[in-house]
A and B are shown apart, each in its own frame.
Chain A
Amino acid sequence: MNRPAVKSVFLMAVCGLLLGSVAVRADDWKQFRGNEANSVATGESLPTELSGSTIAWKASLPGRGVSGPMIVDGQVFVSASSGYTQNRLHVISIDAESGMQLWQRQFYASGRTQTHEKMSNATPTMASDGQRVFAFFSSNDLFCLDLKGRLLWYRGLGREFPNASNSLGMSSSPIVVGGILVVQVESDAEAFACGVDVITGETRWQIQRPRAANWTSPALIPGRAGRATQVLLQSSKGLTAVDPETGKILWDFDKGASTIPSATVAAGTVYVPSNGLTALKPAADSVEQLWNSGGVSPATSSPVVAGDLALVLNSSGVLNAASLQTGERVWQLRLRGPFSGTPVFAGGHLYLLNEAGVAFVVKLESDKGTIVSELDLGETILCSPGVSRGGLFVRSDGHLIKLATPK
């Protein structure tokens, strides 16, 4: 074998190893707001003309939930809670193609299950590293299962930290970075964030967080071009970047931030709901504010970046598009709110679902947004959708629904 051939075999072997170790597929939607927690479905093509015929299937769910669907290797995962006190916790796997239930597992809550009636114990969205799925609940019960529903580990964080609860419910969705699951558990009475080993379930690091109610979820600055991945933890105090491996604080933005909509990241810039919307340019151990725009203020939904626009839904159900360069509002589009879930961006269009269950497809252009189509699903929808292989997945209290172009 000549040298170039040996080199090729070696490279192929290395690539094989690398591919084998990275189990996240590009068409997975492995956590809240997608693989990079930015609500962008790269390379996806969803139907723009929604109608009854674009409802590919509707599957019944065994319990309530606000959590969004997560898609891993053709399985749609969703959590739910049931029972008079919402103490029954469900993890359901449904075939993305057919809508048939593959399996369902039930567990017992060990923490407090009380939530506001609009929320549910199953409010945080599940996460996955491609081989395992992680289901977190308002009661701070955290389960790790394999893709066939076998329990790999369990943490009763509600029992381990009995004061880390919120009588209105907890909603922070964990995210996976490498071998660490980052979990944010913040309330008036007790608050912390921790990095949990995805293999063993043991705590690798834990840091104290501001003691205040907080419903935001961690965001992610992906590690690219030699830069290490940073995890962003938001609270009423501001935004803190931590090293997901160690929990070490890398930088801190202390001008306050919202406690409901979460920050999003695009092209290395962080857009945080803070005094309206604020753009931050992070470095390895510092951060610089680029602009602040008080005129665009996210309500419950998190901001989404599409092209050169930051898109923000305000409390009146108006979609505001702001310039990424200045934060100035470029255009507005009145929709029918209120909205709870965060929209997704795919193929030049924004997909939004209001609380009444009306799906809107909005074509985005630099100077305007246009409603292309609407579809009333007839059920309350509070979740953020998931996207995979041409399908848009949403859930209500009773159903998981797939919207896709008819075959």
Chain B
Amino acid sequence: MAVKTGGCRGGRLSVRAGLYRVLSLLAAFCLLAVLAGGAGAEKKKERVDAITEAVGILQSAKTAGQGSRENQRALVALTESGARALLPILAGFQKATPEGLNWLRNTFEQIAETLRSSRKPLPVAALRAFVLDTANSADARRLAYDTLLSEDATVSAKLIPGMLNDPSPEFRRDAVDLLLSEAAKAEGAAATELYRRALAGAVHEDQVKTISESLRKAGEAVDISRHFGFVTSWKIVGPFDNREGKGFGVAYAPEAEIVQDRPNLDSEYDGMNGKVRWQTIETTDDFGVVDIAKQIENFKGSAMYAAADWSSPAAQTLQVRLGTPNAWKLWVNGVLAFEREEYHRSTQLDQYSVPVQLKPGVNVLAFKICQNEQTQDWAQKYQFQLRVCDGTGVGVLPGPVVVRNGVSRKTALNKGDAE
């Protein structure tokens, strides 16, 4: 009995001891688990930090080939991180230099290629979410989309229809293409409606031409010039001497006023053929072409100056996109934005894109255009087309007339007397 009782007692004791042991083991296990977890989290954090650091290096890749070795090391580190690095790389596009974009893209492609060849899954859901977030870099979103598309051809039908007004011109183009395919199969009012919708998203010349042609055939009015944001009304003065191309670098009297942001439309100047004054030149061309040769005269070996007001409701960075077969200089509010001395190597819409910083109120766009003395029939154009748009290529129209100090200012030109 005693043994039994004792045994009973001893049994209680051993149960308690056993419990203690189990609890101790559990506690130890938990502690280890916590410690291990902590170490794992620490390791994960280190990995994340390493990825962030490597993305940062590539993101800020320098010009002129500087830092290539460091970039190579960062690229290798990221490719070794595998799928975990894909989304951070895409996020890195947002603030990347143009050099950085190419480094990041190459790294992303190599990781994706390795995952595919080893039949490992891509983070499809995360990539899809990245594509749909228009706050992300347009290039990175497109890369994510192309990656998804290479895995699943149905992605296009799922995502593209909602991208008609996307910040990415590539996505817009695809969305417009889809609508054009639908419109081609539709008839009457249904087709017209589809073309109207397509026009709202179109930023490329070929698509706008196709749409406009169809709409006009259907009796619809289309203002292509307004759609693209062309500047259609200019003041122009000239000709000034540009024989032997020597006038490109000469700051004639209007230029002296332009660079001081004080063009005076009432001024009279000494031109190459006598006295000249500012005159109005307007274009009704669909694509905003101001044709000096046809509308005024093809003054061989000459330079002309053109100026226009452009009202901006706020300070903003936009693009001036222009096309001309002639040599040119562009000033915005007296500041030289770009100049190019090339003659008759063709012209097209958006031949040049110049980022410009506009101030709130009336801005002055001033343009110098030069004709040379080539005699070939293909070298007789004397023209330009200029529009204002955002980075996507969507035309931006000037805002309402600015009211400053209670006084409505309709023009910034004629500053000689207006200020």
Contacts and interface: CB of A to CB of B under 8 A. Distances in A.
B63 A149 contact: no
B102 interface: yes
A167 interface: yes
B103 interface: yes
A108 B105 contact: yes
Given A108-B102, A166-B345, A189-B340, A201 B65 contact: yes
Contacts of A150: 72, 75, 106, 110
Nearest to B342: A188
Contacts of A168: 345-346
Interface stretch (A152-160, A218-226, A263-271): A152-160
Contacts of B105: 106-108
B252 interface: no
A126 to B, nearest CB: 16
A116 B64 contact: no
A196 interface: yes
Among B68, B101, B110, B348, chain A packs the most CB atoms within 10 A around the CB of B68
A188 B109 contact: no
B69 interface: yes
A150 B108 CA distance: 11
Interface string A169-209: 00000000000000000011100000011001111000000
A103 B113 CA distance: 9
A154 B61 contact: yes
A9 interface: no
Contact of B345 (A84, A162, A163, A213): A213
A84 B173 contact: yes
Contacts of B352: 112
B109 A106 contact: yes
Contacts of A159: 63, 98
Among B65, B75, B169, B170, chain A packs the most CB atoms within 10 A around the CB of B65
Interface residues of B, number: 39
A251 B171 CA distance: 53
Contacts of B106: 105, 107, 145, 149-151
B68 A200 contact: yes
A163 B351 CA distance: 13
Interface string B123-150: 0000000000000000100000000000
A356 B332 CA distance: 47
B65 A155 contact: yes
Contacts of B61: 154
B66 interface: yes
Contacts of B257: none
B381 interface: no
Given A108-B139, A150-B110, A156-B98, A203 B64 contact: yes
A236 interface: no
Given A105-B106, A107-B106, A200 B69 contact: yes
Interface in B152-186: 169-170, 173
Contacts of A106: 105, 109
Contacts of A108: 98, 101-102, 105, 139
A110 interface: yes
B347 A167 contact: yes
Given A114-B351, A116-B346, A155 B64 contact: yes
B394 to A, nearest CB: 15
Interface string B33-76: 00000000000000000000000000001011110110110010
24 contacts: A105-B109, A107-B105, A108-B102, A112-B352, A145-B106, A149-B106, A150-B106, A151-B72, A152-B68, A154-B61, A154-B65, A155-B63, A155-B65, A159-B63, A162-B338, A188-B343, A189-B340, A189-B341, A196-B65, A197-B65, A200-B65, A201-B65, A201-B68, A202-B65
